[in-house]
Amino acid sequence: MRLTIDLTEQEVNILKKRGKRNYLKLKEQVEDIIRRSCINFKTTTSVSIKADDKLVEIFSRQRRVKRK
């Protein structure tokens, strides 16, 4: 599967530096970041806020809790 994203030069430089530290090429570094993000997303659940006011529920920040 192909995915195209637009990055600024500054973002590319940051990813290249990070990849160099991890001994990865730019493409491999981006793949690693996306893979880790997917793994972390799968293992976390959000706790819904129970509030009397509907607007408070909508605009309140929700915590992420890791499953044990």
pLDDT digits (tens, 9 = 90+) for 26-57: 999 999 999 998 887 766 555 566 667 777 76
Q: With 0.85 as the threshold, say if the pTM is over it.
A: no
pLDDT the model gives residue 17:
96
Cβ atoms within 10 A of the Cβ of 32, count?
14
Report how far residue 47's alpha carbon sits from residue 4's, in angstroms, rounded to the nearest whole number.
Answer: 33
pLDDT the model gives residue 1:
83
Average pLDDT, the chain: 81
Which residues fall within 8 angstroms of residue 66, CB to CB, at 6 or more apart?
43, 44
pLDDT the model gives residue 48:
61
pLDDT the model gives residue 27:
94
Name the β-bridge partners of 45: 65
Q: Is the pLDDT of residue 13 over 80?
A: yes
